[in-house]
């Protein structure tokens, strides 16, 4: 790939960098000996073993151009979004501190697949006839699938923030939803809405969608392994027959706010923040007008919630969407509201305003206020709403987004809404064995996935784009929780929520330096406790500690070994002598700094 061949990796990875002086960073030094903790040894092992596994996986499923070796199709089942998901979590793995060999391969395949799906064209599906990717972006889809296809792109900036092609695409793709591309009039600036839940670089779909629009051109699925269990093309079509209602804004479109947020993180250009606030505040107003519950259908013609008939629960993937699965004949509730929380997250990140968290919490209360008591005295809570009212009853309160709301607010009442979590129990001072147990689980996952792809004998012409997804040998769930104090991003395309992040100032890259382990063991509104250790017996290591995934948190002070040092910045530097380590208690103010993807030494 030209990008990698012509640019030395050090420049492709971080660009030209200035000396580490652009942003003031107080320096602390630690020489207190610390016996190597088991959790730190497991962290370093997981970072080390993942890289060769990932490289072997890429060699098996991608060619020298970075093209996925599969039967290329359009569609919501096995289309372009799944191809890009095959590299899920690679950017985080590198940003945590895994070896440099990872990123050139990731960049090669990422660019390769953009070319591959730009060259691939549909025959029957109208939106894909000029390329399944048009202007390097998905031609037309919904934001469940857009988000899944962008999950690696949204994490790339953690390691390659100055890469020119990343920055150019971040701005251009944001423009698809901000009225900057005349061929993609997805957004109505007067009504402050995205005009259809089917949108993209070809613009919005303002008609009824057909099953063909969702499924892709006809093909014979015999000999393939379809992820949703279909055996015939007719079953593919049957699956999507109920998905016709797509025109109008939809809570799924809140995932689109990630693109302007990506662009805002580059240089804090005001237009991106303004668009995001305008759009999200319009949604807050709709929620207020709808009894606190976010609607899934807003008419694109006049902005009316629910359209002429007031069906605020309408549209595919909406509050009232319960189609029959043609494979098993069962009716399934497919409300995709968990994805909508991404918009609230992005608005909090760029503004620091807890009103977005408050709105989601209030919606949970509003949904649960419709609980019912059964004849035998059991209380049940709804999860769905249709023409006949609330339905989809369950025995526990509706708590979609409870973990995120607690993480953002750090309120005790929000903590009470979160169901059982080993990680939060550990942060509460319980379950002391969690770090080692979770890291060992992830090591076992890597080994199992390697065994899986090595045993995969399907020829490329019989692979669908999602067939190798479960073989991706990246397991970073525990590393993100333990090292960053983070909620590991899922597959919806969200950005990173992390209390801390680390940089290597000597190698000018993201992640902890070699031999360094980190363990976040306590989180409160104003306090973070982290242990840093250098496992090397002969070499000192220097690490920059940052408040937040994007520097959004300010570190006021650091307490260590009975002494407190004032910081008053979003970063500080730690020098760890050989074999040393210590526990740090950080006093912090959260969401008070303008978030940025820039590395500390590149900030003005």
Mind listing the pLDDT tens digit for each residue in 366-415? 999 999 999 999 999 999 999 999 999 999 999 999 999 999 999 999 99
Tokens at 531, concatenated? 């242990």
CA-CA-CA-CA dihedral for 263, 269, 270, 276, to nearest 10: 0
Enumerate residues 6+ apart whose C-beta is below 8 A from 270: none
Q: What percent of the chain has pLDDT over 90?
A: 93
Q: Check: CB of residue 255 under 8 Å from CB of residue 343.
A: yes
Tokens at 445, concatenated? 């996952």
Residue 159 has pLDDT above 80, yes or no: yes
Could you tell me which of 343, 98, 301, 267 has the C-alpha nearest to residue 195? Answer: 301
CA angle 231, 233, 236 (to 5 degrees): 85
CA distance 107 to 258: 20
Could you tell me which of 512, 580, 570 has the C-alpha nearest to residue 543? Answer: 512
Residue 583, classed as helix, strand or coil, is: strand
pLDDT tens digits for range 187-227: 999 999 999 999 999 999 999 999 999 999 999 999 999 88
Residue 2 has pLDDT above 60, yes or no: no
* pLDDT score, position 228: 81
pLDDT tens digits for range 404-460: 999 999 999 999 999 889 999 999 999 999 999 999 999 999 999 999 999 999 999
Q: Check: CB of residue 361 under 8 Å from CB of residue 405.
A: yes
CA distance 194 to 148: 19
Instruction: Provide the residue ranges of all domains of the chain, joining segments of one domain with +.
Output: 174-209+244-419, 499-602
* pLDDT score, position 5: 35
Rg over alpha carbons for the chain, rounded to the nearest Å, is 24
pLDDT tens digits for range 508-562: 999 999 999 999 999 999 999 999 999 999 999 999 999 999 999 999 999 998 8
Give the pairing of strands 27-30 and 571-576.
parallel
Residue with tokens 């902005």: 303
Residue 12 has pLDDT above 80, yes or no: no
CA distance 564 to 569: 15
Enumerate residues 6+ apart whose C-beta is below 8 A from 197: 142, 143, 246, 247, 248, 249, 250, 252, 253, 315, 316, 317
Residue 8 has pLDDT above 80, yes or no: no
Q: What percent of the chain has pLDDT over 70?
A: 96
pLDDT tens digits for range 104-148: 999 999 999 999 999 999 999 999 999 999 999 999 999 999 999
Specify the fold of 499-602.
Answer: Immunoglobulin-like (2.60.40)
């Amino acid at each position: 790939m030209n990008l990698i061949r012509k640019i030395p990796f050090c420049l492709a990875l971080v660009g030209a960098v200035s000396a580490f002086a652009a942003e003031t960073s107080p320096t602390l030094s630690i020489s207190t000996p610390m016996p190597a903790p088991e959790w730190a040894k497991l962290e370093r092992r997981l970072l080390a073993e993942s890289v060769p596994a990932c490289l072997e996986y890429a060699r098996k499923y991608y060619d020298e151009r970075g093209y996925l070796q599969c039967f290329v199709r359009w569609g919501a089942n096995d289309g372009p979004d799944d191809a890009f998901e095959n590299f899920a979590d690679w950017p985080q793995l590198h940003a945590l501190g895994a070896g440099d060999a990872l990123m050139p391969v990731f960049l090669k395949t990422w660019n390769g697949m953009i070319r591959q799906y730009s060259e691939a064209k549909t025959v029957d599906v109208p939106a894909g006839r000029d390329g399944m990717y048009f202007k390097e972006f998905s031609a037309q889809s919904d934001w469940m699938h857009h988000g899944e296809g962008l999950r690696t792109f949204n994490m790339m900036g953690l390691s390659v923030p100055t890469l020119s092609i990343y920055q150019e695409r971040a701005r251009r793709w944001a423009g698809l939803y901000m009225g900057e591309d005349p061929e993609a009039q997805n957004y109505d600036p007067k009504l402050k809405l995205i005009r259809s839940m089917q949108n993209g670089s070809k613009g919005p779909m303002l008609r009824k969608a057909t099953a063909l629009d969702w499924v892709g051109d006809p093909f014979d699925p015999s000999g393939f392994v379809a992820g949703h269990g279909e055996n015939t093309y007719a079953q593919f079509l049957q699956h999507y027959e109920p998905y016709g209602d797509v025109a109008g804004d939809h809570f799924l479109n809140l995932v689109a706010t990630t693109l302007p947020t990506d662009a805002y993180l580059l240089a804090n250009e005001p237009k991106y923040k303004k668009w995001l606030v305008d759009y999200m505040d319009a949604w807050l107003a709709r929620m207020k007008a709808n009894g606190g519950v976010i609607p899934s259908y807003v008419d694109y013609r006049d902005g009316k919630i629910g359209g002429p008939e007031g069906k605020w629960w309408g549209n595919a993937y909406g509050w009232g969407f319960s189609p029959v699965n043609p494979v098993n004949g069962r009716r399934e509730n497919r409300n995709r509201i968990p994805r909508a929380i991404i918009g609230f997250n992005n608005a909090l990140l760029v503004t620091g305003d807890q009103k977005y968290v408050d709105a989601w919490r209030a919606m949970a209360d509003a949904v649960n206020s419709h609980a019912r008591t059964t004849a035998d005295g059991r209380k049940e809570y709804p999860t769905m709403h249709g023409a006949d009212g609330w339905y989809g009853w369950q025995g526990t309160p509706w708590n979609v987004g409870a973990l995120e709301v607690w993480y953002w607010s750090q309120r005790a009442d929000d903590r009470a809404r979160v169901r059982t979590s080993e990680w939060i129990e550990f942060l509460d001072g319980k379950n002391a064995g969690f770090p080692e147990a979770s890291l060992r689980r992830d090591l076992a996952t890597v080994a199992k996935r390697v065994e899986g792809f090595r045993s995969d004998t399907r020829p490329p012409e019989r692979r669908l784009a999602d067939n190798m997804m479960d073989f991706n040998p990246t397991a970073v769930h525990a590393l993100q929780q333990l090292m960053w104090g983070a909620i590991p991003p899922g597959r919806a395309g969200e950005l990173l929520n992390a209390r801390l992040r680390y940089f290597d100032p000597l190698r000018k890259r993201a992640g902890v330096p070699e031999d360094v382990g980190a363990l976040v063991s306590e989180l409160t509104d104003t306090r973070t406790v982290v242990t840093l250790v250098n496992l090397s017996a002969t070499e000192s290591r220097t690490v920059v500690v940052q408040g937040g995934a994007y520097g959004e948190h300010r570190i006021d002070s650091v307490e260590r070994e009975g002494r407190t040092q004032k910081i008053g910045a979003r970063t500080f530097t730690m020098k760890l002598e050989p074999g040393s380590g210590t526990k740090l208690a950080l006093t912090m103010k959260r969401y008070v700094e303008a978030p940025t993807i820039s590395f500390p030494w590149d900030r003005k």
